[in-house]
Amino acid sequence: MAREIEFREALREAMSEEMRIDPRVFLMGEEVADYHGAYKVSKGMLEEFGPRRIIDTPISESGFAGLGIGATMLGLRPIVEFMSWSFSLVAADQIMNNAPKILYMSGGQFGCPIVFRGNDGAGGQLGSTHSWCVESLYANVPGLKMIIPSDPYDAKGLLKSAIRDDNPVFCLESERLLSIKGDVPEEEYVIPIGEAVVRRAGTDCTLVGFGRTVYFCEEAAEELAKEGIECEILDMRSIRPLDLDAIVASVRKTNYCVVVDQSWSFASVGSEVAAEVHKACFDDLDNHVHRVHNDDVPAPYSHELEQEMLPHARKICEAVRAATYNA
Amino acid sequence: MPVEPVFETRIDRLTILDEHGRFDEELGAGLIPDEDVVALYRHMVICRHLDEIAFKLQRSGRMGTYPENRGQEATSLGAAYALQKKDWLVTCYRENAGLFWRGLPMELVLLHWMGDERGNEIPEGLNVTPLAIPIGTQMLHATGLGWASKYRGDDGIACTFFGDGATSEGDFHEAMNFAANLDLPVIFFCQNNSWAISVPTRIQCSAPTIAQRGLAYGMDCIQVDGNDIFAVVKAVRDAAERARTNQRPTFIEAVTYRLGDHTTADDARRYRDDEELEMWKLRDPMIRLRGWLDARGLWDDSKQASLQEEAEAHIAAAVQRASDIEALPPTEFFKNMYKTMPPNLQQQMSTMRTSSLGRNPETADQSAVS
């Protein structure tokens, strides 16, 4: 039975359902208990699970990230909430240099089944230091998995998979999407990590996006359809592992590809996808892969300027027209 | 309004067997049974010999890098002796004596420093974490282990080891704050060996003791003579009692000295006074313990001579076992990246190429991974 719920409720349901069936799972982070999380994702969870399993921490990202990693060594399965992924940077050694390497460095003895999750991305007028898109930065590290859901259905299904996964999983949630609503069944379901999905079928150009950029792609596709260019939108959903097969299948159909990535372009998720598409679809492409990214500046504090730096629909339209020789 | 003190404290220093051989009978009598003192001394001699052999292996090109443990044996050994097998030893990289006492096979440590990561395959149930080379990061894992013990309702303790230099790291402060705020059964064991590579302690900490850093977090803290194994055992036992009964962490500063270089990649002669080194050589924990045993008729030169022979044979056998292990094929390094190998790694493994050089996924040979 489907009903409409908000993205943040979907995340909450994923955590609560997994906590009900697995006593090893707990949630830890800044303000997650009494205050219900800075973005109210954990509303009601303290009341249901109590302070033993919903834990407010000091402002100490490296502290609770490292604590969570240590707790996995004794068989627990922590969910660590970063109020913002921007704040995870002070915990970089724990999340990049420890969590994804524990299994390797312990000769397979200790896995690290931990979920790091929180807000990612610019667009909320939070200023340059609070508006990081960390996906390209962290996706470079082997040993971790990364998911970026774009709607409530995926958010719940992917986060449930992440909590059950035996590896560290980074779940990046756009603050701009937390209030959107979508159909989510009441019945149990999970979405496997590593599978992309076609959001809109089209024949003329493949748009590859993830997270919030899927909406930018949809806006652009509507506009381009008026010009007679039918875009196929592929929502990657998982960054690591990357579902290259799905992207390749679409590009082989459309022969054109534009990648839309809400992080900076240099050595990014977008550049990785473009490189792989060039390699796998060299004979199928009728133009090189075009990329749309944030402009190479920090997120401006000014609302107007910040909106402009994002990989928004107008930029995507321009890229598609150029890629398909319709400029 | 008068100005009133709101907090006063002091830091105690615990010594039971001092560098002149004086033994505090009140604190020390019966603390460690005589036969255990003999066993601990024998263990120190064997570990010291391993240190010498590992150094030679490195100098002869058979080992990558090695951090000498010489002079610090009493610290981790005393702690491992005082703790129970169910307690976790969360070490950095200069705790051989404690790890071997716990039961870690010597060839694994040799294997690790020889550059074979199978040395990190710690036998199940030893409750030892992998070596932590970045400074201070393991303290947070100890806090997490303490947290997990409390969460699970068992009465295990996590004891984490680190140097004086690590107490300048942010992770140290975050780990201490968490452990104190959440009432966790964690022992923070600082081996203050006077040097953070080439930086002396006084440049890292302007307070008179490292121990007092624990006060800021509302934690019990004590300084001990780290070359006095009796003092180390007592301090760790007291801390373990506090952790097990009251779920409270303790900070122990064990004052010791690194008689060797930081690692074989370092040469301490370039920055350290000979005079200081000579003074600390006289405070060697083994000299002190040997004197204690001699005075009680528990040890003599002939026992020493046969122990030396035993140590040589023991270490030679461990070196042989480490050397006999066949080299790993390169495909092995993909094995422990994920619990289940994802397709992109399977492809890299089967083609032995990075993704940028890899063949077309459709034509790459997958047979090697089936």
Domain range enclosing B249: 13-323
User: What confidence score (pLDDT) does residue B328 get?
Assistant: 83
Largest CA distance in chain B: 85
- In this prediction the ipTM stands at 0.90
Closest CA to A212 of A86, A316, A140, A59: A316
Q: Among A52, A142, A167, whose Cβ lies nearest the Cβ of B339?
A: A167
Closest CA of chain B from A60, distance in Å: 6
Q: What is the DSSP letter of B338?
A: S
Q: Based on the domain organization, do B334 and B186 belong to the same domain?
A: no
Residue with tokens 């460095």: A105
Among B122, B127, B140, B155, most A C-beta atoms within 10 A, so best to mutate, is: B140
> Which element (helix H / strand E) includes B40?
helix B34-59
Q: Does B198 touch chain A (CB under 8 A)?
A: no
- The model's confidence at residue B269, banded by pLDDT at 50, 70 and 90, is very high
Task: Tell me the CA end-to-end span of chain B in Å, nearest whole number.
Answer: 81
Are A207 and A232 in contact, with CB atoms under 8 Å apart? Answer: yes
CATH number assigned to the domain covering A197-323? 3.40.50.920
Distance (Å) from the C-alpha of residue A92 to the closest C-alpha of chain B? 11
- In tens, the pLDDT along B25-50 reads 999 999 999 999 999 999 999 999 99
Please answer yes or no on whether B144 and A72 come within 8 Å at the CB atom. yes
Contact B134 A276 (CB under 8 A): no
pLDDT band per the 50, 70, 90 thresholds, residue B131:
confident
Query: CA-CA distance, A90 to B173, in Å (whole number)?
Result: 13
- Based on the domain organization, do B216 and B349 belong to the same domain? no
- For B232, the 3-state DSSP assignment is helix
Residue B2 lies in a domain: no
Burial-class residue B175 by CB neighbours within 10 Å (0-12, 13-18, 19+).
buried
Residues of B in contact with A67 (CB under 8 A): 140, 143-144, 147, 175, 178
- Partner-chain residue, chosen from B148, B340, B361, that has the shortest CB–CB distance to A71: B148
Shared-domain flag, residues B337 and B232: no
Sketch the domain layout of chain A as residue ranges: 2-185, 197-323
Enumerate residues 109 to 128 of chain B having a beta carbon within 8 A of any beta carbon in chain A: 117-122, 124
Asked whether the beta carbons of residue A66 and residue B141 sit closer than 8 angstroms, the reply is: yes
C-alpha to C-alpha distances, A265 to A82, A135, A282, nearest whole angstrom: 24, 11, 21
Q: Do B213 and B351 fall within a single domain?
A: no
**Do the chains contact at A110 and B141, CB–CB below 8 Å?**
no
In which band, very low, low, confident or very high, does the pLDDT at B134 lie, cut at 50, 70 and 90?
confident
A-chain residue closest to B338, CA distance: A143
pLDDT class of B365 with cuts at 50, 70, 90: very low
Query: Same topology for domains A2-185 and A197-323, yes or no?
Result: yes
A22 vs B: CB within 8 A: no
pLDDT digits (tens, 9 = 90+) for A151-172: 999 999 999 999 999 999 999 9
Whether residues B336 and B297 fall in one domain: no
pLDDT class of A184 with cuts at 50, 70, 90: very high
What is the end-to-end Cα distance of chain A in Å, rounded? Answer: 46
Tokens representing B131 are 């070596």
CB nearest B336 (choices: A66, A67, A103): A103
pLDDT bin (cut points 50, 70, 90) of residue B352 is: low
Q: B368 in a domain, yes or no?
A: no
Whether residue A141 lies within 8 A of chain B, CB to CB, comes out as: no
CB proximity A60 to B under 8 Å:
yes
Residues in A 92-131 with any Cβ partner in B closer than 8 A: 93-94, 97-98, 102-111
A interface test, pick of B121, B336, B355 with most A CB neighbours within 10 Å: B336
- Same domain, yes or no: B352 and B244: no
Residue B343 shares a structural domain with residue B219: no
Q: How much is the pTM?
A: 0.92
Cα–Cα distance for residue pair B236/B158, rounded to 1 Å = 12
Listed in sequence order, the DSSP H helices in chain A are 7-21, 45-49, 61-72, 92, 102-105, 135-139, 152-164, 213-226, 244-254, 269-280, 303-309, 313-323
Show residues of chain B in contact with A66, CB under 8 Å.
137, 139-141, 143-144, 171, 174-175
Instruction: Give pLDDT tens digits for B283-308.
Output: 999 999 999 999 999 999 999 999 99
pLDDT value, residue B369: 38
Task: Report in angstroms the alpha-carbon separations of B114 from A142, B98, B261.
Answer: 24, 20, 18
Amino acid symbol at A224: L
CATH topology of domain A2-185: Rossmann fold (3.40.50)
Contact across the interface for B361 and A105, Cβ inside 8 Å = no
Work out the average pLDDT over A245-270: 97
Contact assignment for B120 to A68 by CB distance below 8 Å: no
Q: Do residues B100 and B227 share a domain?
A: yes
- Averaged over B69-85, what is the pLDDT? 97
Place of tokens 């999380």: A37
- The mean pLDDT of B107-133, rounded to a whole number, is 91
Measured between beta carbons, the chain B residues lying within 8 angstroms of A64 are: 178
Average pLDDT of A121-130?
Answer: 89
Give the residue numbers of B marked as catalytic. Answer: 258, 262, 271
In a shared domain, residues B296 and B338: no
Of all residues in chain B, what percent carry a pLDDT higher than 90? 83
* CATH number of the domain bearing residue B315: 3.40.50.970
- Rounded Cα distance between A164 and B312, Å, is 49
Do B228 and B343 fall within a single domain? no
Residue B226 lies in a domain: yes
Comparing CB atoms, the residue among A64, A106, A143 nearest residue B338 is: A143
A167 touches chain B (CB under 8 A): yes
Tell me the three state secondary structure of residue B366.
Answer: coil
Burial of A17-41, coded b for 16+ CB within 10 Å and e otherwise, reads ebbeeeebbbbbbbbbbeebbbbbb
Which residues in A127-158 are b (16+ Cβ under 10 Å) and which e?
eeebbbbbbbbbbebbbbbbbbbbbbbbbbbb
User: In chain A, which among 234-253 make CB contacts under 8 A with chain B?
Assistant: 240-242, 244-245
Contact residues, chain A, for B109 at CB < 8 Å? none
Q: Could B144 and A104 be called an inter-chain contact, meaning their C-beta atoms sit closer than 8 Å?
A: no
Whether pLDDT at B135 is above 50: yes
The sign one gets for the Cα dihedral B44, B50, B53, B59 is negative
Tell which residue, A173, A245, A178, A181, has the closest CA to residue A208.
Answer: A245
> Do B310 and B179 share a structural domain?
yes
Distance from CA of A182 to the nearest CA of B (A): 30
> Strand, helix or coil at B245?
helix
pLDDT at B368 over 70: no
Determine the average pLDDT of the residues in B200-221. 93
Chain A contacts in chain B segment 268-287 (CB below 8 A) = none
- Record: contact A71-B361, CB cut-off 8 A: no
pLDDT-above-70 percentage for chain A: 100
Tokens of A47: 């009341």
Number of domains in chain B: 2
Q: Taking residues A272-293, report their average pLDDT.
A: 97
Query: In angstroms, rounded to a whole number, what is the distance separating the alpha carbons of residues B44 and B292?
Result: 14
Residues B238 and B202 grouped into a single domain: yes
User: CB of A184 within 8 A of CB of A10?
Assistant: yes
The two three-digit tokens of residue B99, written as one number: 């790890």
Distance from CA of A110 to the nearest CA of B (A): 9
Cα B279-B82-B165 angle, rounded to 5 deg: 50
How many CB atoms lie under 10 A from the CB of residue B205? Answer: 17
Inform me whether the C-beta atom of residue A161 falls under 8 Å from chain B C-beta atoms: no
Q: Which residues of A touch B146 (CB under 8 A)?
A: 70
Contacts of B120 in chain A (CB under 8 A): 105-107, 109
Q: Which of B140, B336, B358 sits opposite A66 (nearest CB)?
A: B140
**Distance (Å, whole) CA B124 – CA B248:** 27
Considering only CB atoms, which chain A residues are within 8 Å of B141? Answer: 66, 69-70, 73, 98
Q: Does A166 touch chain B (CB under 8 A)?
A: yes
Kindly give, in sequence order, each residue whose CB lies less than 8 Å from that of residue B71, ignoring residues fewer than 6 positions away: B193, B227, B256, B257, B258, B259, B260, B280, B284, B285
CA of B9 vs chain A CAs: smallest distance (Å) = 25
Task: Check pLDDT > 80 for residue B361.
Answer: no
Q: Report CB contact under 8 Å: B140, A70.
A: yes
Pairwise CB contact (< 8 Å): A70 & B141: yes
Chain B contact present for A267, CB below 8 A = no
